[in-house]
Structure 1
Amino acid sequence: MDLELRHLRVVCAIEDAGSLTRAATALSMSQPALSAQLRRIETMLGGALFDRRQAGVVPTGFGELVLARARAILPGVDGLLADASRVTRHLDAPHRVRVGSVGAPLLGHLLLAIRASLPGAEVTARCGPCPAPLLEDLAAGRLEAAVLGDHPGQELSPPDGVELRPLVTAPVFALLPSAHPLAAREEVELSRLVEEDWAAPRPGSDRTREYWSSAFSLTGRRPRIPYEAEGRQLIEIVRAGLAVSLCQATFIEVPGVTVRPLAGDPLWYRHVLAWCADGPLAAHGDEIMRKVGAGYLAGCASSPVYARWRERHPRSAQLAR
């Protein structure tokens, strides 16, 4: 039996966990199976790597030597594998474009722009609630492009090999039951809205709830949030008259739900496109941004409330240049 990279990863995982039991859980193995594998690795190397103690395991002197060499080797190997994977994907499937998206109004426009820029491309899409996993998939080569979003003070950071292109920063609006008294107003004060029952996304890695809370705190009130929901479920709770919420400015009103601007525009959302820097879209970035931007502006016109807001604020929510 020859020593393999996976054996070095196992040894590092054991040191990181500090015990065979915790390491087995992290590696999705049983503890007896991990113990047996460690014994085989120690036999191959010719010495004990860890002292087994009641509180866990501690590297022996020999183990420290092996671990130091393993931790020097593995990052270089991982980098080589990642680079090779990106190159082979680009060479073997230059027109395969996998797109991810958060719940934002740009996905359809991006798909159309990709099809126009790469007419022969096989284009697929999948959606998720948070930008962080989509960024990870872009960095790992599991996606070629994504629609992302963030908030002021929570701006996304691009991983190596990923290009982020902000498109526009738009206001966040109030989402109300149509029968709610505040729905009759041209705009709604957040300080008044915070007194209502709320439907809101669960706290998560997209940090939307955290951003909303920062705005709530300025009113001196904490809203009651009996309903945690997203997407269609959140809209249905509002439509039923059970709660109020917030939405993107491009949200198109449906029967039973009314959209209104927030007075003073205290909340904003930045729409961002992303793609692999060495992927098939890199050479078409400016063209894609223009086409998606044009689609976004057409969507603004389809939302009467947002269209009126833009007329009153001609210098706000402009497309990035």
Structure 2
Amino acid sequence: MDIEVRHLRVICAIAEAGSLTRAAASLCMTQPGLSAQLRRIEAMLGGPIFDRGHAGAEPTALGELVLSRARAILPSVDGLIADTARAVRCGTASGQVRLGSVGAPLLAHLVAAAKDLLVGSEVTARCQYSPLPLLDDLAAGRLEAAILGDNPGNELPPRDGVVLHPIVTEPVFALLPSNHSMACCEEVGLEELLKDDWVMPPPDSDRTWEYWTSVFAQAGCQPYVPYEAEGRQLIEIVRTGLAISLCQPTFIEVPGVAVRPLKGNPLWYRHVLGWRSDGPVATHSDEIARRIREGYLVTCANSPAYMRWRQRNPDPRRPLE
């Protein structure tokens, strides 16, 4: 992982607040989540940035160096963001529709709808693991629309000029090796799975890890997570039988893995469509949202485990119809 502008903002926010608790509140994060992110930043920079104690957070010598550079860099970055956003709003980049998405099965439907409805526009797209940088890009005018996501109790914060429209709230499923003892079950208990080794994506600012661990705590224990991975690497660790994980219910089973619902549906995830209120997508937002919903239902049909779950749960909390 490379140092990003958002990491510099985190460091400055902690220094300005004088404590992680106050900084977490200003950043709309939890204190444990901010602490975890700070540890990752410090690991990237090679040493502690703050001395943390009862009196608060005081910059170390390394921290003072980082802060001096960050405070010099951020005004220029903010100026660049403001200038480019202004240029886009004034039409210097007219005809370009920039889309973004987290790891979700909805991006292709968003791109297809934009290409059909915004005729003559150049449509581009990029993906990112966490929704918060994408939301920041929407607010700054660097994206016209994006597929975002959040969890119960950790909903996306509002941003000026950005409309957030829920598409669907779906359960989170278990991802198991196909030879796992519970792979033959129609649904699996979270308490039993917590006895296995797990592979999880690295924690990030989207707070998904925090949400999961809070639900694990309610189930009685935390999983042992010897592996951190995402994407293809995570799937391969599961496929080889080294660990289990969680996944979206629309995940298409590949040889060697099994997707199964969790008993009692303890975990949920919400897909959200966001767009600039003053951008080209706003005019067609209702139709774009409708097409994404239709595309989501088609995607569901390719996941047998999810289709069976939907038949057993005819009225879950999903704003689709």
* Pairwise CA distance, 1:83: 8.8
Name the counterpart of 1:167: 167
Contact 2:87–2:93, Cα closer than 8 Å, also in 1 = no
SS of alignment partner, residue 100 of structure 2 = strand
Name the counterpart of 1:101: 101
Which amino acid letter does the alignment assign opposite residue 315 of structure 1? D
Tell me the alpha carbon deviations over residues 176-212 of structure 1, each in whole angstroms, 9 at most, x when there is no partner: 0000011010100000001000001112101111111
Name the counterpart of 2:313: 313
Contact 1:94–1:280, Cα closer than 8 Å, also in 2 = no
Tell me the alpha carbon deviations over residues 265-303 of structure 1, each in whole angstroms, 9 at most, x when there is no partner: 000000001111101100100000000000000001111
SS of alignment partner, residue 285 of structure 1 = helix
TM-score, length basis structure 1: 0.75
Instruction: Check if 1:133 corresponds to 2:133.
Output: yes
Provide structure 1 residue ranges, at least 5 long, that are not aligned to the other structure: 1-14, 30-73
Contact 1:171–1:248, Cα closer than 8 Å, also in 2 = yes
Distance 2:123 2:193 in 1: 42
Count of equivalent residues? 259
Change (3 A) 1:154 1:141: same
Name the counterpart of 1:299: 299
Instruction: Check if 1:243 corresponds to 2:287.
Output: no
Q: CA RMSD in A?
A: 2.5
TM-score, length basis structure 2: 0.75
SS of alignment partner, residue 221 of structure 1 = coil
Change (3 A) 1:224 1:99: same
* Pairwise CA distance, 1:22: 6.1
Change (3 A) 1:244 1:199: same
Distance 1:190 1:162 in 2: 36
Distance 1:269 1:300 in 2: 15
Contact 2:88–2:141, Cα closer than 8 Å, also in 1 = no
Tell me the alpha carbon deviations over residues 51-106 of structure 1, each in whole angstroms, 9 at most, x when there is no partner: xxxxxxxxxxxxxxxxxxxxxxx9xxx89x94994465352333211111110111
Change (3 A) 1:182 1:265: same
Distance 2:67 2:300 in 1: 52
Distance 2:204 2:65 in 1: 29
Provide structure 2 residue ranges, at least 5 long, that are not aligned to the other structure: 1-14, 17-57
Which amino acid letter does the alignment assign opposite residue 178 of structure 1? S
Distance 2:88 2:246 in 1: 44
Name the counterpart of 2:116: 116
Change (3 A) 1:254 1:26: same
